[in-house]
């Protein structure tokens, strides 16, 4: 059995380039006792992988050079030398960026193939959905009637955050780049106001217009995925006692010089804003309740998953770059199986 995998061979400076990676083919032997062999069906790409390509200290260790990179994947067991797994089982792992692998049983988690399509476990029913759920409910303490501003709103986490906030009876102002994404936010996700930030020379003015258009005074919750000028706009339009859930700052991940905005952090004090960053891995205790809610919302037709699917491991880096160029919509996946 042969498998192809993507290795990081050099730590990128700024935006990663092709020379930082290698596509390597290796033999995969039958699983040893206690091991399970898995063929990945899909892997997901996450902006956080950019952080792991650097060797700066973070909440997860850097990728090891000249070893396959890691990331969420859903696959099918093809051979097993462990009693808890049998061929055909659907399994989640953090062993993406490779086609076939052997792993100890502890590295795998069963998923119910009858309940949801496999890719859902990398999206609304996986850590992407939990990130939106934990950020809105635990960090931002979402309440019915809140006005919620969501950045990178057409992406994996953002699109789920928009839908959860709508389910909870909130008004949603959503920002994304380009007319296709703006139309998706308005027509598919049904947000109250959408901003194409790429068409706006001043995002604060655009958010002020959106706030006025939906007849409110400002925002109560900021679900922040982008940082920079998006965060500056959210601070400028925040109501008193607004809650900011800092989920991500993708505008900063490839930056090599010092960030320049936001310049209005004083608003934290003058408006009594509570701003809190979080990492989904610290909120796994919410997973059971999250899955119950998500399954019910999905069954009721209230949650849908938009996906951008790239075919084949040789296109996995295109998928990753799409997160930063904005070519993606919804959850970005690579079909491997
Ligand atoms: N805290 C946690 O535990 C956690 C977990 C998962 C993800 N996150 C964070 O959540 C955010 C979204 O992640 P995701 O996986 O859902 O990715 P995603 O939103 O599906 O893809 C990233 C999106 O970011 C936007 N973007 C990229 N560069 C940008 C820039 N310079 N300015 C403005 N927008 C930019 C692009 O959309 P446009 O075309 O609209 O620009 C792109 O579609 C990221 O910041 C990520 O780090 C955090």
- Banded model confidence at residue 57, pLDDT cuts 50, 70, 90: confident
Say if CB 310 and CB 323 are below 8 A apart. no
Which pair of structure tokens corresponds to residue 195?
């901003």
Domain segments of the chain as ranges:
2-123+306-335, 127-282
Q: Alpha helix locations (H) across 3-155?
A: 48-53, 127-133
What would the mean pLDDT of 194-215 be, rounded to a whole number?
98
Domain 127-282 has CATH 3.40.50.10260: no
Find the 215 Cα to ligand 1 centroid distance in Å.
Answer: 28
Give the atom of ligand 1 at the shortest distance from the alpha carbon of 48: 47
Using CA atoms, how far apart are residues 263 and 126, in angstroms rounded to an integer?
Answer: 35
Class of domain 2-123+306-335: alpha beta
Per-residue pLDDT tens over the stretch 287-332: 999 999 999 999 999 999 999 999 999 999 999 999 999 999 999 9
pLDDT at 259 over 90: no
Give the atom of ligand 1 at the shortest distance from the alpha carbon of 278: 1
Q: Alpha helix locations (H) across 54-202?
A: 127-133, 156-167, 179-183
Give just the sign of the alpha carbon dihedral 124, 128, 130, 132. Answer: negative
Say if CB 31 and CB 23 are below 8 A apart. no
Which pair of structure tokens corresponds to residue 33?
């006792």
Q: Best of 52, 123, 157, 158 to mutate for ligand 1, by most ligand atoms within 8 A of CB? A: 157
Query: In terms of Cα–Cα distance, which of 94, 99, 152 is closest to 127?
Result: 94
Find the 291 Cα to ligand 1 centroid distance in Å.
Answer: 23
Q: Best of 152, 157, 233 to mutate for ligand 1, by most ligand atoms within 8 A of CB? A: 152
Strand partners, 77: 38
Find the 125 Cα to ligand 1 centroid distance in Å.
Answer: 18
**What pLDDT is recorded for position 322?**
97
Find the 19 Cα to ligand 1 centroid distance in Å.
Answer: 24
Domains 2-123+306-335 and 127-282 alike in fold: no
Say if CB 91 and CB 85 are below 8 A apart. yes
CA quadruple 326, 334, 93, 62: dihedral, nearest 10 = -50
Element of type H or E holding 246: strand 238-246
Residues with CB under 6 A from ligand 1: 46-48, 131, 152, 154-158, 176-178, 181, 225-226, 247-251, 278-280, 323-324, 326, 328, 332
Task: Note the residue count of the chain.
Answer: 337
pLDDT at 168 over 90: yes
Q: Specify the range with the lowest mean pLDDT, choosing from 209-218, 228-237, 252-261, 277-286.
A: 252-261
């Amino acid at each position: 059995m042969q498998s192809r995998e993507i290795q990081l061979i050099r730590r990128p400076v700024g935006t990663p380039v092709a020379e930082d990676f290698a596509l390597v083919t290796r033999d995969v032997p039958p699983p040893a006792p206690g091991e399970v062999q898995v063929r990945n069906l899909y892997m997901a790409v996450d902006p956080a992988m950019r952080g792991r390509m650097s060797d700066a200290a973070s909440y997860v260790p850097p990728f090891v050079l000249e070893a396959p990179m890691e990331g969420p994947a859903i696959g099918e067991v093809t051979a097993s030398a462990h009693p808890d797994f049998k061929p055909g089982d659907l399994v989640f792992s953090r062993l993406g960026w490779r086609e076939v692998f052997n792993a100890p049983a502890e590295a795998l988690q069963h998923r119910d193939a009858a309940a949801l399509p496999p890719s859902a476990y990398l999206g609304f029913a996986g850590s992407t959905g939990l990130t939106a759920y934990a950020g809105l409910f635990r960090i931002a303490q979402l309440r019915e009637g809140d006005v919620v501003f969501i950045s990178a709103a057409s992406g994996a986490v953002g699109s789920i955050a928009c839908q959860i906030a709508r389910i909870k009876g909130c008004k949603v102002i959503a920002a994304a780049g380009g007319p296709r994404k703006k139309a998706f936010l308005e027509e598919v996700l049904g947000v109250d106001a959408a901003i194409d930030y790429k068409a706006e020379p001043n995002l604060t003015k655009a958010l002020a217009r959106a706030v006025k258009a939906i007849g409110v005074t400002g925002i109560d919750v900021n679900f922040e995925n982008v940082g920079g000028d998006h965060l500056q706009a959210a601070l400028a339009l925040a109501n008193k006692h607004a809650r900011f859930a800092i989920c991500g700052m993708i505008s900063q991940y490839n930056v090599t010089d010092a960030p320049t905005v936001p310049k209005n952090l004083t608003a934290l004090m003058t408006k009594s804003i509570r701003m809190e960053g979080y990492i989904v891995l610290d909120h796994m205790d919410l997973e059971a309740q999250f899955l119950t809610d998500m399954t019910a919302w999905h069954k009721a037709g209230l949650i849908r998953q938009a996906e951008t699917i790239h075919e084949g491991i040789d296109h996995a880096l295109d998928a990753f770059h799409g997160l930063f160029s904005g070519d993606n919509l919804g959850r970005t996946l690579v079909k491997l199986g």
